[in-house]
C-alpha cells in the first residue's frame, strides 16, 4: 500500500513530465521563442466586421482581428471563457428555479450537447453561419430581411468554441451548485430575502471555487483547441493561433525532429496552462464535481421575470444541442452541407462503413484503443483518487496535483513531446512512433483522460463514511483488501460513469491522434482511429461530412455499448455470493 503513491508518481513523471522536459531540452531556442512573443501586430490586421452591399441584401461579415498568434490565442481564450461562464451562470440560476423540467432541460440536454463530435460539429457551425447556404441566412431570407450574416476567421472559431464549451460549463457549475447546503438558501428565503439577493449574496459567493475552476478549464481548452482552427482554416486569421501553428508546423516536418519554432509554440501554451493551474490550484482541487447530485436546491423566482429567465435559458440550452443534432441529420442525408435543404434521406452513409475496409479498420482501431485505455484509466484513476482522498502528507498532495495536470497540459504539447522523445531515442527501430504509433496513442490517451475518472471518483469517495473502512481494518483486513474490497465496490457507480465518459473522450481525442498518426494511409491495415480519418475526409471534400458523420456516430454508439458492457461485467464479478453473506 505504501508503494502505491510512489508507483503512481513514477508513472506520471515517466509518461508525462519526462517527454515534455526532453522536448524543451532538445529543441528549445530562445531566439525562436522571443520571435513568437514579439510578433505582435499593432495595429491589428483586418476589421472586426465589414458590411457588404449585394443589392438584394446587405451582408454583415464578421471575421475578427489578427494581432499575431500569441495575442490572438489569449484574446480568443479570454473572450470564450468569460462569455461561456456568463451564459452558464445564467442558465444555472434558471435551472435552480425549475422544478419539473430540471432533469431534462438542465441535465439531459446539455449532457447530449457536450458529447464531442470532433470536426463535424464545427462544420455544422459553419453550415449555420455560411454566407451562401447558412441556415440562419436561409431563415432571414424567408422572413424577408434585407440583411445576412456570415461569421468566419477567428470570430468563427470563437463562435464554435462558445457553443461547444457552454454545455460542459453549465453542467460543471450546476452539479457543484446542487452540492451546496440547501439550508443556507432556504434560510435566506425564510428570512424574507428576495431571489436576487439570495443569488448574488448566497449562491454565487458559495460557487466561487467552481466558477474559477470552470473559467480556468475553459480558458485552457480554448487555448489548446485544434478543431475550430482547422475547420475555419480557409481564413488566414483562424490559422494564426498557437495551437494551429504548432500543429501545422509539426505536420509539415513529420518524420524529422521537432524544430525550435514548434517547440516554442508548445512551450508558450504549456507555460500559460501551468500558470493558470498554479494560480487557481486551490479552487480546482477543492471543486470535486459529482456526476448528478440527488439533493436539489430550489430558488423561487416568481413573476414575469422568472418566466423570461427560464424560457431564455432553456432556449440557450436547446440551441447548444443544434450542432450535435445536425451531425445526426448529416449521417442519414446527402447533399445538405452546401445546400439549405438535404437532397434526400439515405442509409448509404452507414452501409459504406461496413463495405469499405478503410473505414471499418478505423472503427475497430478506435474501439480497441478505447477499451484498453479506459480500463487502464479506471485502474490508475481509482488508485490516484484513493491515495488523494485517504492518504496524507506530501505524497498525497503530489498525487492530487499530478492527477489534475493532464487536464491543463495541451494535447498538442503531449503529442509533440511523445514524438520527439521516442522518435529521437528509437529512430529506425520497430518501436519508432512513425512505424508503430498505436503504442504511444494508448499511453497518451491514458494519461490525458485520467482526470475524467479521478474527479468523479474523488467526489464518490468523499461521500463514503470512513467507518466502513475502519470496520474492515478492525476485522483484520489489509489496507489493500479494504481499498479494493470495500471502497471500490461502493464507488462503482461513479467509476462506471467515469468509465463511459472517459471512453467517449478517448474515442474523440483529436490533438494527440492527429500528431502521432501523421497522415492516414489509405489501406485496410492502417493504425489510425477515427478522428484523423474524419479530418482528412472533410478537409479533402466538405461534402464527405455526411459519411464522416455516420462514421463518428456509429463508432461512438459502439464505444458506449462496449464500455457499458465492460462495466457490467466488472459489476457482476464484484457481487458477493449469498453463501458468503
pLDDT digits 0-9 by tens, 420-457: 999 999 988 888 888 899 999 999 999 999 989 988 88
pLDDT digits (tens, 9 = 90+) for 177-232: 887 877 777 777 666 667 777 888 888 888 888 899 899 999 999 999 999 999 99
In angstroms, the first-to-last Cα distance of the chain is 27
Fill in the DSSP letter of residue 105. Answer: I
CA gap 511, 270 in Å, rounded = 14
Q: Rounded to whole angstroms, how far apart are CA atoms 327 and 335?
A: 13
What pLDDT, on a 0 to 100 scale, did the predictor assign at position 312? 95
Closest CA to 486 of 410, 407, 386: 386
Burial class (CB in 10 A: 0-12, 13-18, 19+), 132: exposed
**Mean pLDDT to the nearest integer, 503-517:** 94
pLDDT of residue 119: 94
Please, what is the average pLDDT of the chain? 88
Partner residues linked to 345 by β-bridges: 333
d(CA 399, CA 25): 25
| pLDDT score of 192 | 66
- Let me know the angle formed at the C-alpha of 512 by 507 and 515, rounded to the nearest 5 degrees: 125
In this prediction the pTM is 0.91
Strand ordering across the sheet containing 58-62: 49-53, 58-62, 147-151
DSSP 144: T
Q: Which of 404, 370, 12, 480 is nearest to 488 (CA)?
A: 480
pLDDT at 391: 76
Write down the pLDDT at residue 519.
63
Rounded distance between C-alpha atoms, residue 494 and residue 516, angstroms: 31
Helix and strand totals (H; E) in the chain: 32, 5
Q: Are 4 and 387 in contact (CB under 8 A)?
A: yes
Give dist(CA 452, CA 403) in Å, integer.
10
More confident residue, 476 or 419: 419
pLDDT at residue 580, as a whole number = 37
Residue 489 has a pLDDT of 86
pLDDT digits (tens, 9 = 90+) for 261-309: 999 999 999 999 999 888 888 777 765 554 444 446 778 888 888 899 9
Q: What is the DSSP letter of 545?
A: H
Chain mean position to CA 203:
26
Mean pLDDT of 15-23: 93
| Mean per-residue pLDDT, 319-332 | 94
Confidence (pLDDT) at 365: 95
More confident residue, 255 or 302: 302
Distances (CA, A) of 520 to 228, 351, 485, 545: 20, 22, 44, 17
What mean pLDDT is predicted for residues 13-29? 91
**pLDDT at position 579, please?**
37
Rg (CA), the chain: 24
Give the pLDDT of residue 255.
66
In the predicted model, is pLDDT for residue 575 greater than 90?
no
Amino acid at each position: 500500500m505504501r508503494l502505491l503513491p510512489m508507483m503512481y508518481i513514477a508513472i506520471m513523471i515517466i509518461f508525462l513530465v519526462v517527454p515534455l522536459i526532453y522536448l524543451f531540452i532538445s529543441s528549445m531556442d530562445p531566439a525562436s521563442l522571443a520571435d513568437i512573443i514579439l510578433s505582435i501586430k499593432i495595429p491589428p490586421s483586418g476589421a472586426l466586421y465589414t458590411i457588404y452591399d449585394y443589392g438584394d441584401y446587405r451582408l454583415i461579415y464578421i471575421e475578427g482581428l489578427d494581432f499575431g498568434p500569441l495575442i490572438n490565442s489569449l484574446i480568443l481564450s479570454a473572450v470564450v471563457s468569460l462569455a461561456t461562464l456568463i451564459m452558464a451562470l445564467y442558465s444555472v440560476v434558471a435551472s435552480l428555479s425549475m422544478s419539473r423540467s430540471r432533469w431534462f432541460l438542465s441535465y439531459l440536454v446539455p449532457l447530449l450537447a457536450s458529447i464531442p463530435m470532433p470536426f463535424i460539429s464545427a462544420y455544422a457551425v459553419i453550415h449555420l453561419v455560411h454566407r451562401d447556404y447558412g441556415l440562419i441566412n436561409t431563415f432571414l431570407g424567408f422572413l424577408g430581411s434585407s440583411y445576412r450574416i456570415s461569421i468566419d476567421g477567428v470570430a468563427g472559431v470563437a463562435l464554435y468554441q462558445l457553443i461547444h464549451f457552454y454545455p460542459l460549463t453549465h453542467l460543471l457549475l450546476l452539479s457543484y451548485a446542487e452540492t451546496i447546503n440547501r439550508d443556507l438558501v432556504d434560510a435566506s428565503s425564510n428570512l424574507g430575502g428576495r431571489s436576487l439577493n439570495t443569488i448574488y449574496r448566497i449562491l454565487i459567493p458559495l460557487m466561487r471555487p467552481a466558477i474559477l475552476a470552470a473559467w480556468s478549464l475553459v480558458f485552457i481548452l480554448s487555448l489548446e483547441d485544434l478543431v475550430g482552427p482547422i475547420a475555419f482554416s480557409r481564413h488566414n486569421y483562424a490559422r494564426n493561433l498557437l495551437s494551429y501553428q504548432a500543429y501545422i508546423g509539426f505536420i509539415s516536418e513529420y518524420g524529422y525532429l521537432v524544430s525550435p519554432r514548434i517547440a516554442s509554440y508548445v512551450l508558450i501554451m504549456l507555460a500559460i496552462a501551468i500558470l493558470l493551474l498554479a494560480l487557481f490550484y486551490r479552487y480546482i482541487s477543492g471543486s470535486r464535481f459529482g456526476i448528478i447530485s440527488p439533493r436539489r436546491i430550489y430558488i423561487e423566482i416568481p413573476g414575469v421575470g422568472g418566466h423570461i429567465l427560464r424560457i431564455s435559458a432553456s432556449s440557450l440550452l436547446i440551441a447548444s444541442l443544434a450542432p450535435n443534432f445536425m451531425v445526426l441529420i448529416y449521417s442519414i442525408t446527402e447533399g445538405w452541407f452546401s445546400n439549405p435543404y438535404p437532397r434526400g434521406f439515405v442509409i448509404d452513409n452507414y452501409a459504406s462503413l461496413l463495405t469499405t475496409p478503410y473505414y471499418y479498420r478505423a472503427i475497430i482501431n478506435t474501439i480497441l484503443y478505447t477499451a484498453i485505455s479506459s480500463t487502464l484509466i479506471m485502474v490508475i484513476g481509482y488508485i490516484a483518487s484513493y491515495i488523494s482522498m485517504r492518504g496524507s502528507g506530501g505524497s498525497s498532495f503530489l498525487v492530487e496535483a499530478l492527477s489534475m495536470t493532464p487536464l491543463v497540459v495541451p494535447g498538442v504539447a503531449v503529442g509533440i513531446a511523445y514524438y520527439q522523445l521516442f522518435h529521437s531515442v528509437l529512430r529506425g527501430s520497430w518501436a519508432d512512433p512513425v512505424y508503430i504509433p498505436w503504442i504511444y496513442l494508448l499511453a497518451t490517451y491514458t494519461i490525458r483522460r485520467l482526470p475524467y475518472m479521478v474527479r468523479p471518483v474523488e467526489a464518490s469517495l468523499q461521500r463514503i463514511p470512513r467507518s466502513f473502512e475502519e470496520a474492515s481494518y478492525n476485522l483484520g483486513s489489509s489496507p489493500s483488501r479494504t481499498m479494493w474490497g470495500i471502497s471500490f465496490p461502493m464507488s462503482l457507480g461513479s467509476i462506471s460513469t467515469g468509465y463511459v465518459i472517459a471512453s467517449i473522450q478517448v474515442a474523440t481525442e483529436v490533438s494527440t491522434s492527429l500528431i502521432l498518426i501523421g497522415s492516414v494511409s489509405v489501406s485496410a491495415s492502417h493504425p489510425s482511429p477515427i478522428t484523423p480519418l474524419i479530418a482528412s475526409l472533410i478537409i479533402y471534400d466538405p461534402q464527405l461530412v455526411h459519411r464522416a458523420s455516420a462514421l463518428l456516430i456509429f463508432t461512438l454508439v459502439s464505444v458506449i455499448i462496449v464500455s457499458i458492457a465492460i462495466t457490467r461485467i466488472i459489476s457482476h464479478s464484484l457481487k458477493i455470493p449469498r453463501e458468503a453473506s
